[in-house]
Amino acid sequence: MAEPKPARILVVDDTPANVKLLADLLAFKGYEVVTAASGEEGLKRLAEQRPDLVLLDVMMPGMNGYEVCRAIRADAAHAVLPVVMITSLDPAQERIKGLEAGADDFLTKPFNQAELLARVKSLLRIKSLWDQLSDLNANLEKRVADGVAELERLSRMKRFLAPQVADLLLAGGEDPLKSHRREITVAFLDLRGFTTFTETSDPEEVMGVLRQYHAEMGRLIMAHRGTLERFAGDGIMVFFNDPVPLDNPAESAVRMALEMQRSFGVLAGGWKKRGYALGMGIGIAEGYATLGAIGFEERWDYGAIGNVTNVAARLCSEAQAGQVLVSQRVMAKVESLVESDPVGELPLKGLSRPIPTFNVRALRA
């Protein structure tokens, strides 16, 4: 362990004999001593050497001790630097002047060596405590700054990962990005009339509509605890029951979808006034999937792989504007909660067998 550095003391006095006496006494006690023969030189040494304490003679040519002390206190960097003034003048009067100038203590010549050393030791101990407090404050400020920066990084991460995934990653424990298998409910939604809209509208108009659409649908996804897998232009994929388990993911998905259709009706009404004819279809399916990180080393996404995603996507493709089409498995979980109509067995692209399908119109009163 490194030896602690000795305290550095600046002696400012225009009398060489006094300087030598103080320097020898302090050096004998293990202090590092810096000297100056005038007030002006003392301020220069102060800036250069950064002492831990100043012993300052009062009567000096040029700047006297009071002026030097006031100059020291004018610099915020030396606000807690101990200054001891030494004089042969009337101690009662000089002590008041010294304290008014900002001195911490006062000694009268000829001084008692034991008293001088005791006062120096006491003031250096106080200075050390101030330094420790300053270091603690600096460390606290750094930790606060680091914490703010970390929160900003986490906020950015939550914008690119599903918030549930980001929260689990930050909490530690089991890694949600690790490949795993789970039963989930998947909802797909996309716009009807979007291709025609993009062909007849400026890119800025298209982006404006998408921002409104994504913002409102994103709000409802978060409100119903869905995990947003991706935005793909006008298409959105959401799944439920992973990474955070839900009691009834099918019910959450259906409630979200019906609320989305209501909210979309408001958006579409505003767009219609501007000449945009847009609708939204939604498909919902339930089944097992493999979930986890998908991508490569420089770019990972959190996604689900399995037939359930294909079924939901195909049901979405079949849904007309305003419809919410669900698979039979989903209907079995929400039948008592909703008003619905059977659509029949739909032959869906890429699937070997037709899928019994239902159109969910509303929640039961």
Flag whether 153 is in a domain: no
235 shares its domain with 115: no
Q: Is 228 left (phi over 0), alpha (psi -120 to 50) or beta?
A: beta
191 shares its domain with 304: yes
120 shares its domain with 248: no
> What is residue 92's predicted lDDT score, i.e. its pLDDT?
67
Q: Tell the burial category of 124 from Cβ atoms under 10 Å away from its Cβ (0-12, 13-18, 19+).
A: middle
112 shares its domain with 17: yes
Flag whether 165 is in a domain: no
Q: Which of 232, 240, 244 is nearest to 257 (CA)?
A: 240
215 shares its domain with 302: yes
What's this model's pTM, rounded to 2 decimal places? 0.58
262 shares its domain with 131: no
> What is residue 192's predicted lDDT score, i.e. its pLDDT?
95
> What is residue 160's predicted lDDT score, i.e. its pLDDT?
45
Flag whether 274 is in a domain: yes
Contacts of 281 (CB under 8 A, 6+ apart): 189, 190, 192, 316, 317, 318, 319, 320, 321, 322, 323, 325
Flag whether 57 is in a domain: yes
212 shares its domain with 84: no
Flag whether 151 is in a domain: no
Write down how long the chain is.
Answer: 365
Count of beta carbons in the 10 Å neighbourhood of residue 108: 17
Domain boundary among the residues 136, 160, 188 is at 136
Residue 200's CATH number:
3.30.70.1230
Place of tokens 């004999």: 17
Domains contained in the chain, number: 2
Domain span including residue 79: 8-136
Domain boundary among the residues 71, 101, 136 is at 136
79 shares its domain with 208: no
What gap in Å lies between CA 203 and CA 189, rounded to an integer? Answer: 22
70 shares its domain with 207: no
- CA distances 26 to 20, 41, 42, 183, Å, are 10, 20, 18, 79
What gap in Å lies between CA 184 and CA 355, rounded to an integer? Answer: 18
> What is residue 198's predicted lDDT score, i.e. its pLDDT?
92
202 shares its domain with 76: no
Q: Which of 38, 49, 65 is nearest to 10 (CA)?
A: 49
Flag whether 148 is in a domain: no
Flag whether 255 is in a domain: yes
120 shares its domain with 205: no
Mean pLDDT by 10 residues, the chain (365 residues): 77 90 90 92 91 90 90 87 83 75 84 86 84 75 69 53 61 69 95 93 93 94 88 90 90 97 95 94 96 77 88 95 97 96 91 92 92
pLDDT in tens, 306-348: 999 999 999 999 999 999 999 999 999 999 999 999 999 999 8
